[in-house]
């Protein structure tokens, strides 16, 4: 229960956040102007909270909301091409209740994972500045601290990989830094916890349309995450119950950049 309360409190702070005035005003302007294809939609147009199972053992870190994807729908990777590649993979791997992610009221639930980001407001050209990434980093740290069962982190792209490396350093983990490459891993320990970071190309349209990231390549990332969790269960660590609910601040009433998405 503690994790659920802590995570919900973080997401409420995220939605109210104004640390990056330019990003807030860009996200709001996109929401006002809208894309022709989504003219009938009411855009979210604010910082996008994470989507999660509070007992998550796997953290998936993207870069930032897409202007007409999660900035429109209010849920990470929902309503755009990246999500149409990510959620089917999560469903095949048992982390999502369904492959479709249409809007935040579509009934989709996550099991044993959280989807978060290095920056939580849609940036122009899908590219947050270094200062904007620094502004948003404390939320990632808070989420990490609120997830004591966390065991695996999947970095979608090199900026997410850098954010996770920074997080592990800040929390006193020892690890060989390594370089970003699809399928590369960091094994980190700090005496109390051990975390494995798995690097993946971002499921952006430009990576998936060009074949840089294929379905088998992406499935292999989540198979590896499952193998690490299964090994822990074999070693007697507590498994999380798959099938638990997910949360979104509103539903509880209810730029991956072109260059970064490698």
Name which position in 7, 8, 20, 89 contacts ligand SF4 (CB under 6 A).
20
**Interface segment toward ligand SF4; rule CB under 6 A; list 73-81, 128-136, 170-178, 218-226:** 128-136
Nearest to 62 by CA among 130, 126, 142: 126
The token pair at 227 is 């193998």
**Interface segment toward ligand SF4; rule CB under 6 A; list 87-95, 130-138, 223-231, 234-242:** 130-138
Contacts of 92 (CB under 8 A, 6+ apart): 99, 219, 222
- Closest approach of ligand SF4 to the CB of residue 15, in Å: 8
Question: Is 255 in contact with 123 (CB distance < 8 Å)?
Answer: yes
The token pair at 19 is 């640390």
Q: For residue 65, how many other CB atoms are within 10 A of its CB?
A: 33
Q: What gap in Å lies between CA 73 and CA 147, rounded to an integer?
A: 25
Question: Is 59 in contact with 113 (CB distance < 8 Å)?
Answer: yes
**Interface segment toward ligand SF4; rule CB under 6 A; list 116-124, 203-211, 237-245, 246-254:** 116-124
Q: Which is nearer to ligand SF4, 91 or 104 (CB)?
A: 104
The token pair at 130 is 């270094």
The token pair at 74 is 């209010």
Q: Which is nearer to ligand SF4, 23 or 58 (CB)?
A: 23
Name which position in 47, 62, 69, 203 contacts ligand SF4 (CB under 6 A).
47
Q: Which residues in the 136-165 window bind ligand SF4 by CB under 6 A?
A: 136
Q: Which is nearer to ligand SF4, 24 or 182 (CB)?
A: 24
The token pair at 262 is 């490698």
Tell how strand 58-62 and strand 152-156 pair up: parallel
- Closest approach of ligand SF4 to the CB of residue 62, in Å: 13
Should residue 224 be labelled a site residue for ligand SF4 when binding is judged by CB under 6 A?
no
Should residue 19 be labelled a site residue for ligand SF4 when binding is judged by CB under 6 A?
yes
Chain-centroid distance, C-alpha 154: 8
48 CB-contact burial (10 Å; exposed 0-12 / middle 13-18 / buried 19+): buried
Should residue 14 be labelled a site residue for ligand SF4 when binding is judged by CB under 6 A?
yes
**Interface segment toward ligand SF4; rule CB under 6 A; list 35-43, 83-91, 118-126, 146-154:** 118-126
Should residue 66 be labelled a site residue for ligand SF4 when binding is judged by CB under 6 A?
no
Name which position in 10, 67, 86, 121 contacts ligand SF4 (CB under 6 A).
121
Question: How far apart, in Å, do the first and last CA atoms of the chain sit?
Answer: 37
Should residue 23 be labelled a site residue for ligand SF4 when binding is judged by CB under 6 A?
yes
**Interface segment toward ligand SF4; rule CB under 6 A; list 16-24, 154-162, 192-200, 233-241:** 16-24
Nearest to 132 by CA among 144, 143, 140, 120: 120
Name which position in 132, 175, 198, 203 contacts ligand SF4 (CB under 6 A).
132
- Residue numbers of the site for ligand SF4 (CB under 6 A)? 14, 17-20, 23-24, 47, 119-121, 132, 135-136
């Amino acid at each position: 229960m503690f994790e659920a309360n802590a995570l919900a409190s973080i997401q409420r702070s995220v939605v109210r956040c104004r640390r990056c005035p330019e990003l807030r005003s860009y996200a709001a302007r996109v929401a006002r102007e809208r894309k022709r294809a989504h003219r009938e939609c009411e855009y979210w147009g604010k910082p996008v909270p994470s989507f999660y199972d509070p007992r998550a053992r796997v953290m998936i870190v993207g870069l930032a909301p897409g202007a007409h994807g999660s900035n429109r729908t209010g849920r990470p990777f929902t309503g755009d091409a990246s999500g149409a590649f990510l959620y089917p993979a999560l469903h095949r791997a048992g982390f999502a209740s369904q492959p479709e992610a249409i809007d935040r009221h579509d009934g989709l639930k996550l099991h044993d994972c959280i989807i978060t980001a290095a920056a939580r407001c849609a940036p122009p050209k899908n590219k947050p500045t270094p200062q904007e990434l620094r502004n948003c980093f404390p939320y990632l740290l808070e989420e990490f601290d609120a997830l004591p069962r966390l065991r695996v982190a999947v970095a979608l792209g090199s900026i997410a990989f850098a954010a996770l490396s920074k997080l592990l350093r800040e929390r006193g983990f020892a690890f060989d830094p390594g370089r970003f490459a699809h399928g590369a891993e960091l094994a980190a320990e700090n005496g109390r916890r051990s975390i494995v970071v798995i690097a993946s190309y971002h499921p952006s349209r430009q990576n998936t349309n060009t074949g840089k990231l294929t379905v088998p390549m992406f499935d292999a990332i989540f198979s590896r995450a499952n193998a690490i969790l299964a090994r822990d269960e074999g070693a007697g660590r507590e498994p999380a119950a798959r099938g638990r609910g997910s949360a979104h601040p509103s539903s509880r009433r209810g730029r991956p950049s072109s260059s970064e998405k490698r």
